[in-house]
Amino acid sequence: MTDVTYCDGPYSCAEGANVLVIVTEWEQFRALDLPRLKREMECPVMVDLRNIYRAEEVTAHGFRYESVGRGARGVAQSLANTQQAGGASMRHAPRPATMASASRR
């Protein structure tokens, strides 16, 4: 695939990204160093499609956090926590980073 960039790990994947999308439940993505991850990103926005993080934990580190299936109250609280922590705002077109797991054969 020519439009796919492979990275050595989550932090190199997040380097310069505006949005981080987690699409896997693999163990190595469940315990990310959130302060380090935020430093690597251009704009700390996390979309967690597997619900492996708690919104309170991620927004406490200044991320804007979105997940699926947790209801509107969770999203509203996430946005409020992010604003209190001086977190993310989108200023320009995002460069997404998607953390996925894959096996190469």
Q: What is the CATH number of the domain that holds 89?
A: 3.40.50.720
Count up the domains in the chain and report the number: 1
Residue corresponding to tokens 């996430």: 78
Q: Is residue 2 part of a domain?
A: no
Asked if the structure places residue 15 within a domain, the reply is: yes
- What pLDDT, on a 0 to 100 scale, did the predictor assign at position 6? 87
Q: How high is the mean pLDDT in each 10-residue block of the chain (105 residues)? A: 85 93 89 96 95 95 91 56 53 51 42
Is 5 a domain residue? no
Q: Return the number of other C-beta atoms located less than 10 Å from residue 104's C-beta.
A: 4
Q: How many other CB atoms are there within 10 angstroms of residue 43's CB atom? A: 20
The pLDDT value recorded for residue 69 is 83
91 assigned to some structural domain: yes
105: in domain: no
* Residue 69 within any structural domain of the chain: yes
- For residue 84, the enclosing domain spans 10-99
